[in-house]
């Protein structure tokens, strides 16, 4: 086995943290908050090329900007913006329908009956 400069391996599986971006070079970091660290947190540079992430944050929403650009940001209520909802229901992800001036989700309407 080839020697490396890596030290103190421990599994990251199941560890909770947040994805942040460095103020200096805008590179993504994985931050773990824990009292055991001197500053109360520790940042890890991300070298892994396809790590699995689950978003557990009610203050996160996906948006489509155009045909080629989609983003993850805070919800529209937090951003203080109005969002043009033209395709999918934010609650259940079903295709939205238009009837006159009304846009509605047929799945959510059916569930409310």
pLDDT in tens, 22-65: 999 999 999 999 999 999 999 999 999 999 999 999 999 888 77
The answer as to whether 107 is a domain residue is: yes
Do residue 40 and residue 80 come from a single domain? no
pTM of the model: 0.63
User: What are the Cα distances from residue 111, in Å, to 11, 35, 108?
Assistant: 42, 45, 5
Q: 98 near 109, Cβ under 8 Å?
A: no
Q: Is 105 exposed, middle or buried (0-12, 13-18, 19+ CB in 10 A)?
A: buried
Q: Cα Rg for the chain, rounded, in angstroms?
A: 20
The answer as to whether 24 is a domain residue is: yes
**Domain extent at residue 21:** 14-54
Please tell me the distance from the alpha carbon of residue 15 to that of residue 41, in angstroms, as a whole number: 13
pLDDT level of residue 11 (50, 70, 90 thresholds): very high
């Amino acid at each position: 086995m080839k020697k490396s400069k890596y030290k103190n391996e421990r599994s990251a599986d199941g560890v909770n943290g947040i994805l942040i971006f460095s103020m200096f070079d805008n590179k993504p970091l994985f931050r773990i908050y824990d009292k055991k660290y001197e500053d109360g947190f520790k940042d890890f540079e991300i070298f892994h090329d396809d790590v699995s992430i689950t978003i557990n944050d009610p203050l996160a929403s996906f948006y489509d900007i155009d045909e080629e650009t989609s983003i993850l940001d805070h919800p529209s209520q937090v951003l203080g913006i109005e969002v043009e909802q033209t395709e999918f229901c934010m609650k259940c992800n079903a295709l939205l329908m238009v009837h006159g001036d009304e846009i509605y989700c047929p799945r959510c309407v059916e569930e409310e009956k």
